[in-house]
Amino acid sequence: MHLKEFQRRIEEIYFERDSARGLAGTHMWFCEEVGELTRALRRGQTDELAGEFADVLAWLSTLASIAGVDLEQVARAKYENGCPRCSATPCACPPCAGS
């Protein structure tokens, strides 16, 4: 399944409910899912990771749909030619201060 297909499928399943909740309310649910993924990563719960990653992607997709953003299109536009800053693959930029 391509990202565009995934986003459309999530719209078919959840868009009516999520758009009625609004961007702010849906964003709160997304943050909760990111928190669940964070906990699974910290605790080394490898059996739960796949489901948590899928949940985060689904909530990100519904946020993008509510905002009118085609994730596949914007991902391609930003990353198709490599790193957005240096255009290299892999990235040749100096490491960020936080990494």
- Angstrom CA distances, 32 to 5, 29, 81, stand at 24, 5, 32
The pLDDT tens digits for 10-68 are 999 999 999 999 999 999 999 999 999 999 999 999 999 999 999 999 999 999 999 99
Q: How far apart are CA 7 and CA 9, in angstroms?
A: 5
Residue 97 is predicted with a pLDDT of: 58
pTM of the model: 0.89
What structural domains does the chain harbor?
A: 3-79 (1.10.287.1080)
